[in-house]
A and B are shown apart, each in its own frame.
Chain A
Amino acid sequence: MSDLQTVVTFLFFPSGLFVMLYGMAYEWADRKVVARLQNRIGPRWFQPLADMVKLLSKEEIEPAGVNRLLFVGLPLVGLAGAMTASLYVPLAGLKPPASFTGDLIVVLYLLSLLTICIGLAGTITPNRFSMIGSTRVLTQVFSYEAPFLLALIGPAMAAGSWTIGNINFYASSHWLLLTQPLGFVVALIGLMGKLELPPFDAPEAETEIVAGSLTEYSGRGLALFKLGKAVELIVGLTLVAAFFLGGINNPLEFLLKTLGLLFVMAGISALMTRFRIDQVVRWWRYGALLVLGQMLVIIAWQIWKGL
């Protein structure tokens, strides 16, 4: 790519400003769908954008005794991780702007970088709610990473490649939703856990620990974390939709498939009660077993095919 193309990709489209605005649009869609399912109106289209603008314009209150470098740097690192991850997935239906062998693992690592930054952000202040929130975030990360990763490796095994672009190409001709249904279920629920969507929102349970790890954040730091979460939403949806729902090759498929998946997630959010953190971990034993079973099936099938 030429230098100008690189700059445009990083800053504007399809990464950069586009993915941030698109993330906020999807955040709005999620809130709107949940609201309509609860028989109420929901926010207007510019609500997340208005929240972001408001937060960026407010004073940032730094708690006393906090490590300044970490306090300011963690939101930046988290957002940077999520934005970098967006470079390797087929955003807007185009080929991933950057691609190399093994980028699936790197993308998953970068996504969890954001979650770990949120978890760390809770530990740097002595606020009780932050500390308990960060414990829960890190517990949830450990519960979800393994099954989610394994569920995404299923399509990788079927496609015979570690590169997201190749897996996307393979998935375009094979609807892996049908051949790996258990993997899809585990990936979907894993995505909800990763994004801390209800019912897996124990780390930010407002009625128990105010705002969890982000209790002490306000102004710019909070805005950057929320932006990071919005970008993570897009990247996660794109990954799961590309792998299991028949690949993403043009903007229309991108819109429809990710939006469809978002609606399913919003529906599940509306229907369930928040899980306690120990119940989250407990239910995930079943998830891990399911996905291991799925992988055994894939391996067995590949051996049988090779014979």
Chain B
Amino acid sequence: MRMATMLSDVIRSAWRKPVTRKYPYVVRPAPPRLRGKLIWNPEKCTGCALCSKDCPSDAIALVVNDKQTKTFVMRYNVDRCTFCAQCVVNCRFKCIELMNDQWELAALSREAFTIYYGRPEKVEEFLATAASSGQAVE
């Protein structure tokens, strides 16, 4: 039985810097596999919709799914996404990616959490025809 068994740790701390990272002034680079915000590339999409079928929280949906003209617009709800990457696994053409550098997703308004992906003109068209509001990105 000894007293002060943590003495070695405590003494060593006297000349070590604290391990606390002073976020947000010091930001550690994210590891490459970090599952951050979803990004979708409409060019390779075929409209199979397997991604939205298996989403556990109904976060993505192909709101415009026209296979003839290859027009696809996807609505992504950041606030519902659980970042599970099941959609990434399902997509056979690698259209979906979870970016590792976009993980600071706080926002001050609800609109920022609904994102529409697609070719810009198609998204505009969709938003014009739809009555609901949203925020077009890309």
User: Interface residues, chain A, CB within 8 Å of chain B?
Assistant: 35-42, 267, 270-272
Contact = CB atoms under 8 A, between A and B. Distances in A.
Interface in B55-91: none
Interface in B102-138: none
B95 to A, nearest CB: 44
Main secondary structure of the interface of B (DSSP, over half): loop
A38 B4 contact: no
A92 to B, nearest CB: 29
Given A271-B3, A271-B7, A36 B14 contact: yes
**Residues of B in contact with A, size category:** 10 to 19
Contacts of B22: 41
A267 B13 CA distance: 12
Nearest to A271: B4
B13 A36 contact: yes
Given A36-B14, A37-B14, A267-B10, 16 more contacts: A36-B18, A37-B10, A37-B13, A38-B13, A39-B13, A39-B16, A39-B18, A39-B19, A40-B18, A41-B20, A41-B22, A42-B18, A271-B4, A271-B7, A272-B3, A272-B4
12 contacts: A36-B13, A36-B14, A37-B10, A37-B13, A39-B13, A39-B18, A39-B19, A42-B18, A270-B10, A271-B4, A271-B6, A271-B10
Contacts of A41: 18, 20, 22
A107 B31 CA distance: 60
Interface in B21-51: 22
Nearest to B20: A41
A272 B10 CA distance: 12
A129 B10 CA distance: 33
